[in-house]
Amino acid sequence: MPAPARVVLICALLLLGLTVTNAGLAGTVTPDLQRAEVLAGMASVGLMLVAVLWTRANPKSAEKVSLKGEQGLVLLEQLNDVQKQELAWGSHMLLTATPAASVLVLWRQQVVLRRGLISQDPFQPGAITKRAMDREQTISLVNTTLFPGRAEFDGMLQSLPAILVCPMGQQGVVIVGGWSPRCFSRSDERWLEGWAQRLRTTLETEDVSHRSWDSA
């Protein structure tokens, strides 16, 4: 329970205790006293509800899971400088500004980036990844132990507790693995979706420019 919620709960219990004590010590029960006791009791219950809601609004963060992997950065060598810079910048921001532990970018059936904790195992997109690309919608696996299809991400990094799968149209996907279950917020998801759109534009534009230059 957060410290502010704990303080509110203690105040509620003190108020309730004083209310009961006052009622017990009163020699006679008058209508005014009854009204005061009812109001004090309602205030105590209200403060208890505030403490409960405060705890639910600020749940205790799950502890980081011990993940096996090596810190690294792997970029596809065939990428040009603009594409590499965009991938390096965006992945760095994800790893430093969100609870991301590992980032993988798949573009046109090729893994173009691995960063953070990485493994040497090959990654093959499975049903979840393909569904995200087909529907062009982000899929959030808040707790991978609840999803039977989580094994498709073992090629990225084994035992990732939370995963975001963000499509770049039907040509690619950005996959982000978190340190703990339910670690990604809605703002993290929106940030990832914004960068995925920007990255898609960079990869498509630079590919076209590169092909045009080669043909010339």
DSSP 97-149: HSSEEEEEEEETTEEEEEEEEE-SS-----HHHHHHHHHT--EEES-GGG-GG
pLDDT, tens digit (0-9, with 9 covering 90-100), for 79-127 = 999 999 999 999 999 999 999 999 999 999 999 999 999 999 999 999 9
User: Which one, of 119, 175, 156, 143, lies nearest residue 65 by Cα?
Assistant: 143
Q: Which CATH class is domain 70-215?
A: alpha beta
Does residue 130 register a pLDDT over 70?
yes
pLDDT average, residue stretch 50-62: 64
Domain boundaries, the chain: 3-57, 70-215
pLDDT average, residue stretch 29-33: 73
Lowest pLDDT segment from 65-69, 105-109, 151-155, 159-163: 65-69
| Mean pLDDT score across all residues of the chain | 85
Per-residue confidence band for 6, with pLDDT thresholds at 50, 70 and 90:
confident
This prediction has a pTM of: 0.70
Q: 185 or 6: which carries more pLDDT confidence?
A: 185
Per-residue confidence band for 205, with pLDDT thresholds at 50, 70 and 90:
confident
